[in-house]
Homo-oligomer: A and B are copies of this chain.
Amino acid sequence: MNYLNMTKRELELEYSKLNQDYKNYKNKNLKLDMSRGKPSSEQLDLSNNILRQEILNYNIDNLDIRNYGCLTGLESVKKLFSEVFETDTQNMLIGGNSSLNLMHDIIANSMLFSSSESKDCKPWKDYKKIKFLCPVPGYDRHFSICEKFGIEMINIKINSHGPDINKIEKLVSEDESIKGIWCVPKYSNPTGITYSDEIVRRLANLNPKAKDFKIFWDNAYAIHDIFDNPDKLLDIFEEAKKNNKQDMIYIFYSTSKITFPGSGISFLVASDNNLSRIKNWLAPQTIGFDKINQLRHLLFFKNSENIKNHMKKHAKILANKFLMVDQILTKNLSGTNLATWSKPAGGYFISLDTLDNCAKKVVNLCNEAGVIFTPAGSTFPYGNDPDDKNIRIAPTYPSIDELFTSIDLLCLCIKIISIEKLI
């Protein structure tokens, strides 16, 4: 049923019917939270052996890891995860329980100290204005970091192959105040798309006017495939090395959505120059990150094959949820011309676009019926979606039943708000 072709009379009839359905939902007194990309209990259970393991040998890499020291992390742990992330150990640093924290701290330090070898570069605080490019829709917590530091954000449209690379190339080559870009290159939050090889290559070969321009490559979903034929992401670090531009790249990984969010370990991959600078920044900040937790991850996984198998178990749980969301959306909205949505092969989100100027109202209407979705706009800098159409669906945390109800209600609300717009 293509709503766009319906007569006013037909729309009014449909509207009245839908409102009855909505009333029924309201009477259920639902209280569901679909707002955050959190793993479900069932997923967390997969890592419960971390909570039950007995650490008998705490002498690893010739260190008593119970004591102080080892700022960049245990070599054995680097080795394990470098195999999985297909990267080098020598450019790796293991951080604390949050890769977001690493990103934040690199920016905080870049505000106060130069982040480049070039003598032309000042601490970012000493520029009148600095800007970051933000592929949108994107990750709200990246944008919060920019907001905290007063970094102006410029929206870059993201399409099925990645962000608008022509625009990026043009902007960074012209504007010295552009100091960085946020990228979630694989199973992007929330669109689910993976950057194409061409886009990765062109990003790795940017010619920014700012010599201290950095790509914040948040590879949060590096191994978070859900379906067969998963996406492949080109290694931007290797590509950048070919152009001797590796100083432009910071890569982040984390086990937050592999083991336990908030109790995992994080990783930074960076060039020799960057790593050496970051170690200098870190040395006064901490004597070292939690090595026992690093060891717990090593003992739990033992080898990279086990990590891959572990991710397959996550995938199995998530596949059902992602499929169901897609089915309900398809059943309710296919052919209506009221919405489009992503069908990612991995990651944590499904991104849905309503008609223009409907997302906020849809999310509000859902909330009034007791189902909280991520606030409309929050996938954009300053919480401002210029078209007010993007809604982030986070299918991972709720149960299948809750998910069914929530997405069914979402579809209903999309129809109601769309008709209000069309009439």
Partner of A38, one of B38, B55, B68, B97: B68
Among B58, B100, B149, point to the contact of A112 (Cβ < 8 A). Answer: B149
* Cα-based distance from A101 to B286 in the complex (angstroms): 5
Which residues of chain B have C-beta atoms less than 8 A from A261's C-beta?
A: 66-68, 287
A289 CB-CB contact with B under 8 Å: yes
Taken together as a complex, chains A and B put the C-alpha atoms of A384 and B66 apart, in Å, by 32
Q: Which of A130-138, A139-147, A152-160, A338-346 contacts B (4 or more CB under 8 A)?
A: A139-147
- Given the known A-B contacts A263-B291, A285-B101, are A52 and B55 also in contact in the complex, defined by CB atoms under 8 Å? yes
Interface size class of A (residues with CB under 8 A): 35 or more
On whether the beta carbons of A284 and B145 are closer than 8 Å, the reply is yes
B-side contacts of A55, CB under 8 Å: 51-52
**0 or 1 for each of A273-296: is its CB under 8 Å from B? (1 = yes):** 000000001011111111111000
**Interface set, chain A 213-227, CB cutoff 8 A to B:** none
Closest residue of chain B to A142, judged by CB?
A: B284
List B contacts of A287 (CB < 8 A).
98, 100, 141, 261-262
- List the B side residues contacting A52 at CB < 8 Å: 54-56
User: What is the CA–CA distance of A104 and B105 in the complex, to the nearest angstrom?
Assistant: 11
Q: How many copies does the complex hold?
A: 2
* A112 (CB) vs chain B CBs: closest residue: B111
Instruction: For residue A100, give the distance in angstroms from its CB to the closest CB of chain B.
Output: 6
Contact of A67 among B39, B56, B149, B291 (CB under 8 A): B39
Interface majority SS on A: helix, strand, loop or mixed? loop
CA–CA, A263 and B287, complex, Å: 11
Which chain B residue shows the least CB distance to A54? B52
User: Known: A284-B104, A284-B144, A285-B101. Contact between A262 and B67, CB under 8 A?
Assistant: yes
Complex contact A112–B97 (CB within 8 A): no
Query: Does A108 have its Cβ within 8 Å of any Cβ on chain B?
Result: yes
A141 proximity list for chain B (CB < 8 A): 284, 287
Taking CB atoms, residues of chain B closer than 8 Å to A56 are: 51-52
A44 at the interface (CB under 8 A from B): yes
A263-B98 in contact given A54-B51, A284-B144 (Cβ < 8 Å): no
- How far does the alpha carbon of A138 sit from the alpha carbon of B146 in the complex, in Å? 36
Q: Knowing A286-B100, A293-B290, say if A262 contacts B69 (CB, 8 Å).
A: yes
Find chain B residues with CB under 8 A from A144 CB: 283-284
Tell whether A192 is near chain B: CB-to-CB under 8 Å. no
A34-68 interface mask toward B, CB cutoff 8 Å, 1 = contact, 0 = none?
00101101001001000110111010000010111
Q: Which of B39, B97, B112, B284 contacts A290 (CB 8 A)?
A: B97
Residue of B nearest to A260 (CB): B66
Answer yes or no: A128 CB below 8 A from chain B CBs. no
Question: For window 95-117 of chain A, which residues contact chain B by CB distance below 8 Å?
Answer: 96-98, 100-101, 104-105, 108-109, 111-112
Lowest 9 A-B CB distances belong to which pairs?
A: A51-B55, A263-B292, A144-B284, A104-B285, A148-B284, A68-B261, A44-B66, A97-B290, A98-B286
8 new A-B contacts, CB < 8 A, other than A36-B68, A51-B58, are A41-B64, A44-B64, A51-B54, A52-B56, A100-B287, A101-B285, A104-B285, A148-B281
Pairs A–B under 8 Å by Cβ, sample size 30: A36-B68, A41-B64, A44-B64, A44-B66, A47-B66, A51-B54, A51-B55, A51-B56, A51-B66, A51-B292, A52-B55, A52-B56, A66-B261, A67-B260, A67-B261, A68-B261, A68-B262, A96-B96, A98-B286, A98-B287, A100-B287, A101-B286, A108-B108, A108-B109, A111-B112, A141-B287, A262-B289, A263-B290, A263-B292, A290-B293
